[in-house]
Structure 1
Amino acid sequence: MPLGVRIFAVYFLFVGLAGWFVQSTVMDEIRPGVRQSTEETLVDTANLLAEILREDVSTGSLAQSHLPALLEAYGRRQPQANIWGLTKNQVNHRIYVTDARGTVLLDSSGRALGQDYSRWNDVYLTLRGDYGARSTREDPDNPESSVMYVAAPILDGEQIIGVVSVAKPNRTLQPYIERSQRRLSWLGAGLITLGLLVGALLSWWLSRALGKLTHYAQAVSEGHRAEPPRLPSGELGQLAMAVDHMRTELEGKAYVERYVHTLTHELKSPLAAIRGAAELLGGESLDGEMPAEQRRRFVSNIQQESARLQQLSERLLHLAQVEQRQGLEERVAVSLAALVEELVSAQQARITAGKLRVERSLDPTLQLCGERFLLRQALANLLDNALDFTPPGGLIRFSAERHGSRVEIGLFNEGAAIPEYALERLTERFYSLPRPDGGRKSTGLGLNFVQEVAALHGGELAVGNVDGGVLVRLSLPGA
């Protein structure tokens, strides 16, 4: 399972359980919370009525007072109140008064007048001097039919002379409870969804950052050129910098060791030739004077091998600079036709000496996008190879076509076909084929350098045989 999925799964489990626990707890607390608030209001109402009724109860004139008519009128009222979006069309309080024995003296509903309520908890506890309250179902089989009763004592001095109870059906509170539960459900679901979305984004961001680091490490371990990932500052950014620094240190050490070995191997042949020629020339005085023709041949060998050493060191230096780079220093528009013309002019002496024909089928508006110095060096290496393998009087032809955002450069040269066994090895470092003019080999670094430049620009190099010669294709980004 991917790391991002695992992180999100753990986050989902945590947020889901926490959200469910909090929402379930709050939902369970809504009903008792509303009822507690209602009970507190009933307590205030009962105590207010106890003070209002005290004189009439103490004198025994409650039935003759105006209170029964008031309670009847109260029961008929229609408030038409809009309470937080819910309409209240009728009053729901039931009020009854008992004497000190628990006999009902007054009932706003009219159904309990004269009955003995002394055994109901609200009256019983209040007459004992305790807080009297009860909750009783109107229908024993319907839990939603419960009614809250809260009583207050009617006092004459310190003596309890009666009880007033105020009742409110719980069903009248249910719309407010359900509304609060619905709102809380929507709000809780929204918060959980938002939390999961944030968790998903966080998991995706973290997984993406770690994925970039992983791909970078894999590319480096496989020897591919790769730029370090761009990550925000912080621990991940520091980790990316540390990995890149480690790569640089390790590659630098391995790079130096590899080049010391390869350079040592490649220097053996020209140094041996120079040393042999120098020893023969130096021994000339002991064996007699060497013929002038032979002396010129040995001197020429020394000059050729010295030039080969110089070319080898220069190309190794250029190749090392390219291989160690992870990106371009600049990206500018470079005119392909002007660049080719510049290279052909620089090689005009060799072209004239070999009586070669150079054709240029290039659109003057075509432009490459990249680092001009590297592009020039790459094309110079390709032209140098073409000049080496084109026979006297042969043809060299530059061409180019644009394909979308890329420019495909073609360099054709007449000559012998490349052997099949060598086609796949042409871009290997230090691999070279004998030149037609004497069988000498080059440094074997030219095409390797071109391939590195192409890869640095995000392009490709391909070499193959065609009718009448060899065609090199170099694909590079266009401007």
Structure 2
Amino acid sequence: MRLGLRLFFAFFLINGLAAFFVLRVFMVEIKPSVRKVTEDTLVETAYALATLAGADLADGELAGNNGRFASRLAGYTHKPIQAWIWDTRKTTLDMRITVTDAQGRVLFDSLGKDEGQDYSRWRDIALTLRGEYGARTTREIQQDEASSVMYVSAPILVDGRIAGVLTASKPSRSVQKIVDDAERKILRGGLLFVLLSAAVGCAVTWWFVSHVRRLRNYAQQVQAPTLHESAHPDQALQPTGVPSMPGELGELAQAMDVMRKRLEGRDYIEGYVRALTHELKSPVAAIRGAGELLQEELPPQDREMFAAQVVDQSLRLQNLIDQLLQLSRLEQRQHLDKSLRCSLLDCAQRAMQALRSSAEQRNIELQLKGQDSSGPWETDLVTLAISNLLQNALDFSPENRVIEIALAPQRITVSDQGPGVPEPLLARLGERFFTTPRPNGERSGTGLGLSIVTRIMHLHGGSMSVLNLRPGLAVTLDFAPES
């Protein structure tokens, strides 16, 4: 499972459990809380009415509903009412008032149902007659909790003694609508809370995962070949800036950038050492072998041959070292001097002049044609790139052939009439130390010439492309146009 889904489910689970327990507490506490409030109201009502009923009970006027108290409560339950209690509509008066004497016999019933009945055994009446707090809840239908009725009794005092009991009762169904409404509101609020929690969880997860992905992408770019490590600088990834992130994630990104810089330098050196060691093995071995043979007694012609071999391999080592130094300096450069300008025609002529003697020795003609162009390029670097292309063309061209240098706007192409390069190997041209056999079967090159050309074109914002001509090979340098 992906990190984002794990975080989301964990967040949702925690909030869901929290919402469940909170809702459960609210749901469990609603009904008891409403009943507590109702009982509190009944207590105050009972004690207030008990005070009013005391005079009629002392005068014996409660029996028969002839007293002032009874007449004032007559028709109480049938009185019409239209009241809005917050968002709940009330249309009936549900409180029942009863008065009993000191023996628990009912003297007055606001509903007129139980007058003359003996209530002395009811808990609320018995406790009140003993001077204690009397209250009870009784179901009218034993199996139906909704039929329960709350009773609260208050003593009626006459001359300081308990002469009777006034009981105020209220059915639970009268407040059940309030309870149901409250439960529905809490359920709706809980559902909304869960949905909002899910939305917040999605937002937090998206924020965290997006930052982690940015760190992952940055780490992947750190692992990719850099300009110093890639064989083709135009294919290497440019080092991206450190992603801006808050808090510890930002500190982690900074630490990764420091690590990238350290590893890049170390990998660059290690790669060069490995490649250089590989390339030095052949000439060093040849020089050592020739040197050991020269220590022995040899015919003059053999001694001359082995001495020439030492010189040739020494020159090969010198050429390898010079080109490595050139490539190293180029790879350390990141920008050109934009104030400089040069002409492709001038650079081509300089390169041809430097290699003309080598071409004449093999009777190879160097032809220059096309339209000149200039731009914000460095003359020495462009001349070096053209010289390397011409040197490669001379190495692969048979004698008595033509090497053509064609100029076009922001472009120069060097074409030879040699054997070309096998198609599967074209993509590798430009890799450090990669060489192909010369027409004579030797591998005398260093494999750095085209690497230098590729790096020079990268610095100029251009590219190098290679094409087989059959016969021959054409290498084209395309320079970026002026902006």
Matches within 5 A, 1:64-103: 64-103=66-105
Please report how far the alpha carbon of residue 64 of structure 1 lies from its aligned counterpart in structure 2 after TM superposition.
2.0
Cα gap change, 1:308 to 1:223, in 2 (>3 Å): closer
Counterpart Cα distance in 2 of 1:188 and 1:109? 42
Cα gap change, 1:36 to 1:68, in 2 (>3 Å): same
Counterpart Cα distance in 2 of 1:233 and 1:139? 66
1:108 equivalent in structure 2:
110
Cα gap change, 1:422 to 1:429, in 2 (>3 Å): same
Please report how far the alpha carbon of residue 101 of structure 1 lies from its aligned counterpart in structure 2 after TM superposition.
1.0
Counterpart Cα distance in 1 of 2:93 and 2:481? 83
Cα gap change, 1:4 to 1:478, in 2 (>3 Å): farther
Matches within 5 A, 1:167-316: 167-221=169-223, 223=225, 225=237, 227=240, 230-260=243-273, 262=275, 310-316=322-328
2:297 equivalent in structure 1:
none
Cα gap change, 1:270 to 1:174, in 2 (>3 Å): same
Give the aligned residue type for 1:89: T
Structure 1, unpaired ranges of 5+: 274-298, 323-327, 401-408
Structure 2, unpaired ranges of 5+: 227-236, 287-310, 357-365, 395-400
**Counterpart check, 1:61 vs 2:65:** no
1:291 equivalent in structure 2:
none
- Equivalent residue of 2:210, what SS? helix
Counterpart Cα distance in 2 of 1:33 and 1:89? 23
Alignment check: 8 A CA contact 1:92 1:168 kept: yes
1:427 equivalent in structure 2:
430
1:404 equivalent in structure 2:
none
Alignment check: 8 A CA contact 1:312 1:443 kept: no
Give the aligned residue type for 2:148: S
Q: TM-score by structure 2 length?
A: 0.72
User: Alpha-carbon deviations, 1:351-385, whole Å to 9, x = none?
Assistant: 6973222358x9x9xx9xxxx87x99998776555
- Equivalent residue of 1:347, what SS? helix
The number of aligned residues is 429
Greater alpha carbon shift after TM alignment, 455-464 vs 342-351: 455-464
Over the residues paired in the alignment, what is the CA RMSD in angstroms?
A: 4.6
Please report how far the alpha carbon of residue 39 of structure 1 lies from its aligned counterpart in structure 2 after TM superposition.
0.9
2:5 equivalent in structure 1:
5
- Equivalent residue of 1:165, what SS? strand
Residue of structure 2 aligned with 1:355, choices 367, 391, 399: 367
Alignment check: 8 A CA contact 2:347 2:379 kept: no
User: Alpha-carbon deviations, 1:69-98, whole Å to 9, x = none?
Assistant: 322343233331122222111211111111
1:28 equivalent in structure 2:
28
Cα gap change, 1:359 to 1:230, in 2 (>3 Å): same
Cα gap change, 1:462 to 1:147, in 2 (>3 Å): farther
**Counterpart check, 1:317 vs 2:343:** no
Give the aligned residue type for 1:356: L
Cα gap change, 1:302 to 1:149, in 2 (>3 Å): closer
Counterpart Cα distance in 1 of 2:320 and 2:344? 21
2:52 equivalent in structure 1:
52
Greater alpha carbon shift after TM alignment, 236-245 vs 254-263: 254-263
User: Alpha-carbon deviations, 1:162-202, whole Å to 9, x = none?
Assistant: 11111111111122112211211122222222223222332
Please report how far the alpha carbon of residue 133 of structure 1 lies from its aligned counterpart in structure 2 after TM superposition.
1.1
- Equivalent residue of 1:355, what SS? strand
1:396 equivalent in structure 2:
406
- Equivalent residue of 1:43, what SS? helix
Counterpart Cα distance in 1 of 2:327 and 2:274? 16
Counterpart Cα distance in 1 of 2:125 and 2:463? 98
Please report how far the alpha carbon of residue 455 of structure 1 lies from its aligned counterpart in structure 2 after TM superposition.
8.6
Cα gap change, 1:457 to 1:121, in 2 (>3 Å): farther
Please report how far the alpha carbon of residue 21 of structure 1 lies from its aligned counterpart in structure 2 after TM superposition.
0.9
**Counterpart check, 1:346 vs 2:347:** yes
Cα gap change, 1:193 to 1:140, in 2 (>3 Å): same
Give the aligned residue type for 1:394: E
1:134 equivalent in structure 2:
136
Cα gap change, 1:472 to 1:413, in 2 (>3 Å): same
Please report how far the alpha carbon of residue 318 of structure 1 lies from its aligned counterpart in structure 2 after TM superposition.
1.0
User: Alpha-carbon deviations, 1:5-46, whole Å to 9, x = none?
Assistant: 223332222221111111111111111111111111111111
Please report how far the alpha carbon of residue 269 of structure 1 lies from its aligned counterpart in structure 2 after TM superposition.
9.5
Give the aligned residue type for 1:237: G
Counterpart Cα distance in 2 of 1:110 and 1:453? 112
Q: TM-score by structure 1 length?
A: 0.73
Alignment check: 8 A CA contact 1:137 1:147 kept: yes
- Equivalent residue of 1:114, what SS? coil
Greater alpha carbon shift after TM alignment, 118-127 vs 202-211: 202-211
